[in-house]
Structure 1
Amino acid sequence: MAAIDPRALRDAFGAFLTGVTVVTTHDTAGQPVGFTANSFTSVSLDPPLLLVCLARSSRNFEALTKAQGFAINILSETQKDVSNTFARPVEDRFATVDWKRGPHGAPVFSEVAAWFDCSTETIVDGGDHVILIGKVEAFENGKSNGLGYARGSYFTPSLAQKAVSAAGSEATVIAGAVAARDGEVLLVEKEAGVYALPSCELVSGDGPERLQKYLSEATHLPASIGFIYSVYEDTTASKQHIVYRCQLGPGEPATGRFFAVDALPLTTIADAATVDILRRYAAESVLGNFGMYVGNERSGRVHPVAGKVQP
């Protein structure tokens, strides 16, 4: 059996859409500790059990495995900053959030989608991780939408729905792709020496799977569709554009050409709106903090809805 590349496996696991949580407890000195995690799931209603996976290499390993309990804080759509804070080695993470001791004692946060204060039921060996199974002693449902995460980026369900609704007009709908691979973006020749994003027209009932099929057939490369990157109306042409961030697999493309993100041929791009999209993508990809543009070809707003969680 061929050896499995851990990085490739991690990327494949990342295709699964999850929520984002902060796991908290107190260390042996009574100080609050916590970390960002998306490896959380419910286990049972009777008894009420949940689990979260903890890396053996985590700086919080000893505190979590020796504690009598822990809390799961499911972050809301507005709490990307909290996720980033607890994913990085910040000096005093808890100084940046409003928190209190839960009924069972672990730190619980304000304004989260939900929190669960648990006693530690059991700890199960899981290779380079352990599985913490907790019994829910108390919980609170905050009713707000949770923050989403997949393929290394955040997404917010309500904003994605807002963008799709903005595209629901009588105009022709064009689905485009910022199709990236290893720091490069695929562009197609619209005419000799003039480049554009790969795109296709959507008809009633079509979704992003139509764009994925087009990309795969046109390039002969594996293609995966990510999150919406730009939704804008071309008022002069009566066309509505929905642009997705996409990933292409290995191989030589049958159509189009890859350009390095820091060397995009912006002077040869077919239209100004695409130039703006590519400039923004090049700037945002430096830090991995992506946004979503909603507007028209002249003006609109970039909503900061995505970024990378550091391991």
Structure 2
Amino acid sequence: MTSDARALRDAFGAFLTGVTVVTAVDDTGSPIGFTANSFTSVSLDPPLLLVCLAKTSRNYAALTGAKGFGVNILSEGQKDVSNAFARPVEDRFAAVQWQRGPFGSPVFAGVAAWFDCAMHAVVDAGDHVILLGRVEAFDNSGKTGLGYARGGYFTPALAEKSLLASAECLFLGTVAVRNGEILLVEDGKGGWTLPFVEKAEGDGMEVLERHVAETAGLTLTTGLLYSVYEDTQTGRQHVVYRAELGQGAVRNGRFFPIQAPPVAEIADSAVRDIVKRYGAESTLGNFGVYFGNQEKGRVHAVAAKG
């Protein structure tokens, strides 16, 4: 090789991923499975996904010869399941509750989501093969997925708690919606932005709800985490949540259709991207969590039932 394999592997490990367990049934009818983070969606029409499998894997013959396979996206409380299927444990399936999916592959209880797939294609790819699966059945629990980067696990919840506790200059914001519309407030420069409030030491989530109540005159029911980013120009950290607004007339601010916000009048690029992403994701009912800065980062998929 022209590059150091270990160094290359470490560089690949900088990419934050989810954690899955890929499953199938061997020619004796016994369940097999292994932990994998080389998973991605491919197509909605037809519904395709892929995983990568090393040619040296003891599951290689069984997986490449199977009629299909399952992908179980582990939830943030399933590190033990990930570890069990990553090691040469004699009975890996004793570590998890499972059943046969509609197409026959083992699917797990308590996961963020699972997919039961027919084998669509096996593509040679160097020292791996790419398994392309056509989704025959799936389930979406709404739980947050388990993350992995640089050899360690992480969860959005832990990242959120750490940031809330340690950031010196932290602003809480909200994508607040009601009846298909999003609330935007004046940014003081003739444009629009999301509602934000600076969090003082000792403040909790109630400071955001109180801020919206005092400024907009509406009750705010805070939901799930939606975006965590640093503005590198100001050094300010931002944590943005999805939320629902109560009924009543808005005192300050204005409602805009979620699918037609005034993006040209939103000067802050990070806020503009949040508003645009929310509009796109709301059409499918599947929302992610962004981690990064105002210019670049990554959206981590979070399964959520509409």
Q: Please tell me the TM-score bracket, short chain as reference.
A: 0.5 to 0.7
Give the partner amino acid of 1:69: G
List per-residue Cα deviations over 1:107-159 (Å, max 9, x = no partner): 00001000000000000000000000000000000110100011111101111
Give the partner amino acid of 2:127: D
Q: How does 1:275-290 map to 2 (within 5 A)?
A: none
Equivalent position of 2:51 in the other structure: 52
3-state SS of paired residue (1:140):
strand
Instruction: Find the aligned partners of 2:2 and 2:154 in 1 and give their Cα distance.
Output: 32
Instruction: Find the aligned partners of 1:102 and 1:153 in 2 and give their Cα distance.
Output: 30
Equivalent position of 2:163 in the other structure: 164
Deviation at 1:82, TM superposition (A): 0.2
3-state SS of paired residue (1:89):
coil
Q: Determine if the alignment matches structure 1 residue 40 to structure 2 residue 70.
A: no
Instruction: Find the aligned partners of 1:158 and 1:142 in 2 and give their Cα distance.
Output: 17
Instruction: Find the aligned partners of 1:50 and 1:112 in 2 and give their Cα distance.
Output: 17
Deviation at 1:204, TM superposition (A): 6.3
Q: How does 1:1-311 map to 2 (within 5 A)?
A: 3-167=2-166, 170=200, 205-206=235-236
Paired positions, count: 178
Give the partner amino acid of 2:149: A
Equivalent position of 1:174 in the other structure: none
Equivalent position of 2:286 in the other structure: none
3-state SS of paired residue (1:78):
coil
Give the partner amino acid of 1:14: G
3-state SS of paired residue (2:103):
coil
**TM (normalized to structure 1)?**
0.55
Deviation at 1:9, TM superposition (A): 0.7
Give the superposed CA RMSD: 2.1
3-state SS of paired residue (2:28):
coil
List per-residue Cα deviations over 1:192-232 (Å, max 9, x = no partner): xxxxxxxxxx996345xxxxxxxxxxxxxxxxxxxxxxxxx
Give the partner amino acid of 1:56: K
Give the gaps of 5 or more residues in structure 2: 171-198, 202-231, 238-306
Deviation at 1:72, TM superposition (A): 0.2
Deviation at 1:41, TM superposition (A): 0.3
Deviation at 1:3, TM superposition (A): 1.7
Deviation at 1:166, TM superposition (A): 2.2
Equivalent position of 1:234 in the other structure: none
Deviation at 1:164, TM superposition (A): 1.1
Instruction: Find the aligned partners of 1:8 and 1:159 in 2 and give their Cα distance.
Output: 28
Deviation at 1:24, TM superposition (A): 0.2
Instruction: Find the aligned partners of 1:147 and 1:95 in 2 and give their Cα distance.
Output: 20
3-state SS of paired residue (1:118):
strand
**TM (normalized to structure 2)?**
0.56
3-state SS of paired residue (1:28):
coil
Deviation at 1:93, TM superposition (A): 0.5
CA separation of 1:127 and 1:166: change in aligned 2, threshold 3 A? same
3-state SS of paired residue (1:145):
coil
Give the partner amino acid of 1:121: H
